[in-house]
Chains A and B, each alone.
Chain A
Amino acid sequence: MRVRRSTWILIGILAILVGVSMLAPVLAPYEPNAIDMSRIQEGPSAAHWLGTDNLGRDVLSRVMYGGRQSMLLAVIATSCSLLLGMTVGVVAGYFGGFIDTCLTIVSNIFQGLPGTTLMIAIAGIMGGGIDSLLLSLVLTSWVSFSRLARGETMAVCGENFIEGERSVGAGSFRIIVRNVLPNIIGNLAVVFTTRVGRAVLSVASLSFLGLGLQPPTPDWGVMISDARGMFRSSPLLVIAPGACIFVLSMCVNLLGDALRDYMDVRSDAGFDK
């Protein structure tokens, strides 16, 4: 039950990122969309720690606001994918047979389409925005949960204690809730973490392409997209939001690693020490 110190540092950084984003309305020195045409593309100063952008908006305030929507979207979308994927996977793995075959074919179809392609297509046809982002994130990531859940469920169902439960008359629903889910939730948590990291990157990429969150939303991806041509004159406009995405995604990835080591599931961890 020992948690490494490096893990605590990770959790600390993540807490700061999430905390600042949540408290942005209180902490941010300026309104994120307040335009000030008298102060365009200024460098860092006491009044504007990270300078201002091409419309004179305060970059620090925008960076503080910039993760709110993408973090929330990533967590909500991944939770929906987890619920959908887990349900499909457990049902397929537990009941097997015809249901399993059908569900496996459906998940193969979604696996046969590159995620980014489907995301671009959905966002392109439905138009950018939160709805299409949510839909495309869920459609592209539920399969990774369903595959894992199916495999794990099949493994758990092969154990003797499930047979025991059945012999004392427990129904399928009861076995799934009481015995199967607690046994597979750990592995799903690991995948959940890495998927949240991927979702943050996906939201940022789509917003960068103009297919995700739309300007003037203060969002990291949107900010980089806006400032792309101004790198030589004001590099901070690109560096600051990008660094936030990078740090967030790296912390989530490392947290996923720590979680996997901790769970010690299907990993190299046992041979690592």
Chain B
Amino acid sequence: MIHYCIRKLLTMIPVLLGISIVAFALGKLSPGDPAIEALRRIAVEDPTAEQIEAMREEMGLLDPVPVQYGTWLKHALSGDLGESYLDGTPIGAELLRRLPVTVRLSLLALFWTLLFGLSGGICMAWHQNSAADKVLSGVAVFLLSIPGFWLAIFAIILFSEILHWLPTSGIDSWRSYLMPSLVLAASNIGVTARLTRGSLLKEMGQHYALVASSKGLSRRSVLTKHAFRNSLVPVVTLVGNYFGGILGGSAIVESIFAVPGIGKYALDAIYTRDYLVIQGYVLFTGATFVLVTLAIDLLYAVINPKIRLEGGVR
């Protein structure tokens, strides 16, 4: 188990480095000359060639690219992601300030995914091939096919404008999180329910489940005591992927519901061409995702006895 954890920690390092390279490259690819932008910010509207050259020198833009990457990474690791072109606020601090909102939203969406996805999947497997199974399967396909932003528009019309149950935007109270998190979870609920159903039925068909039921265990006990735990393994493996999808997708939801998270920050930055913010957003989201995936991998080790007892599979 300890070997497994150490290996997981070690494989994380190249991934984090790779993400930082992608983020750095995105910044390099952005149109516009950072030196001219920097001069504009200190109110030099029409810089001369010498001024630009001096600024490039000062900003280290004349160094070889790997050196620039090194400097950038050193700053990024100490939390310095540069300043917003728009108002000069430090980007790292702003991202940190907004991160809890996005994480809260994403974790709540993950919670709905597991709650409704697992219970829906169990219900479908339990009533296999019945009307309930067919209806729920239909709902699952519906949820995973519907465009999230379209669903969000309908949800706002129905729950905010017609019924006046929930606020349309902002994060004034826990109720503000309900609609965005459910919209964010919708497609993943569909995927999880289908996966759980398939996985559970597969386990119920395995020899150990047959043995258990031939010993006289009721179908309910076989399902809850034996099959369910095993059927969780493929589901948990994918939870990391869902979280990635949720974290990325939260930008769209944040923009529709005006939730002040990091996704909204990045989208607003795109409209104002604030490229450093986009760069910071990629780095931040990537790092958050990798850390959460690591946590899930460790959880996976606890659930999967193959890893817990033998110290690793494959």
* A268 cross-chain contacts in B, Cβ below 8 A: 197-199, 201-202
Interface of chain A residues 106 through 153 with chain B (CB within 8 A): 106, 108-109, 111-127
* B157 cross-chain contacts in A, Cβ below 8 A: 231-232
B145 and A197 contacting across the interface, CB-CB below 8 Å: yes
* A116 cross-chain contacts in B, Cβ below 8 A: 245, 248-249, 251-252
Given A126-B29, A250-B141, A271-B204, residue A228 in contact with residue B153 (CB < 8 A): yes
* B204 cross-chain contacts in A, Cβ below 8 A: 271
A114 and B245 contacting across the interface, CB-CB below 8 Å: yes
Interface hit among B12-20, B38-46, B71-79, B303-311: B12-20
Given A113-B282, A125-B275, residue A120 in contact with residue B267 (CB < 8 A): yes
A113 and B19 contacting across the interface, CB-CB below 8 Å: yes
Residue of B nearest to A251 (CB): B145
- Bound form: Cα–Cα A249–B282 in Å: 28
Partner of A108, one of B15, B197, B249: B15
* A211 cross-chain contacts in B, Cβ below 8 A: 270
B289 and A114 contacting across the interface, CB-CB below 8 Å: yes
Per-residue 0/1 for B236-273: is the Cβ within 8 Å of any A Cβ (1 yes, 0 no)? 00000000110111011001000000010011011100
B: contact size bracket: 35 or more
Chain A: minimal CB distance from B290 (Å): 5
Given A249-B147, A253-B145, A268-B198, residue A112 in contact with residue B26 (CB < 8 A): no
- Bound form: Cα–Cα A117–B262 in Å: 11
Given A108-B15, A109-B15, A271-B201, residue A246 in contact with residue B147 (CB < 8 A): yes
Chain B: minimal CB distance from A123 (Å): 8
A117 and B18 contacting across the interface, CB-CB below 8 Å: no
B18 and A108 contacting across the interface, CB-CB below 8 Å: yes
B22 within 8 A of partner (CB)? yes
B281 within 8 A of partner (CB)? yes
* A205 cross-chain contacts in B, Cβ below 8 A: 147-149, 252
- Bound form: Cα–Cα A243–B270 in Å: 28
A109 and B18 contacting across the interface, CB-CB below 8 Å: yes
From B19, B150, B244, residue with most partner A Cβ within 10 Å = B150
Tell me whether chain B's interface is mostly helix, strand or loop, or mixed: helix
A192 within 8 A of partner (CB)? no
- Bound form: Cα–Cα A230–B164 in Å: 19
B150 and A113 contacting across the interface, CB-CB below 8 Å: no
B142 within 8 A of partner (CB)? yes
- Bound form: Cα–Cα A201–B14 in Å: 31
- Bound form: Cα–Cα A223–B245 in Å: 25
Per-residue 0/1 for B74-90: is the Cβ within 8 Å of any A Cβ (1 yes, 0 no)? 00000000000000000
- Bound form: Cα–Cα A250–B149 in Å: 16
Interface of chain B residues 223 through 247 with chain A (CB within 8 A): 244-245, 247
A238 within 8 A of partner (CB)? yes
B51 within 8 A of partner (CB)? no
* A232 cross-chain contacts in B, Cβ below 8 A: 157, 161
- Bound form: Cα–Cα A232–B201 in Å: 45
| Apart from the given pairs A116-B245, A117-B285, 14 other A-B contacts in the complex at a CB distance below 8 Å | A109-B19, A112-B286, A112-B293, A113-B19, A114-B286, A122-B26, A124-B267, A124-B270, A125-B31, A125-B278, A201-B148, A208-B252, A245-B150, A250-B145
Can you show 6 pairs from A to B with CB atoms below 8 A apart? A108-B15, A118-B248, A124-B266, A124-B270, A232-B157, A268-B198
Question: Taking beta carbons and an 8 Å cutoff, which residues of A are in contact with B?
Answer: 105-106, 108-109, 111-127, 197, 201, 204-205, 208-211, 224, 228, 231-232, 238, 242, 245-246, 249-250, 253-254, 257, 267-268, 270-272
Question: Taking beta carbons and an 8 Å cutoff, which residues of B are in contact with A?
Answer: 11, 14-16, 18-19, 21-22, 26, 29-31, 128-129, 141-142, 144-150, 153, 157, 161, 197-199, 201-202, 204-205, 244-245, 247-249, 251-252, 255, 263, 266-267, 269-271, 275, 278-279, 281-282, 285-286, 289-290, 293
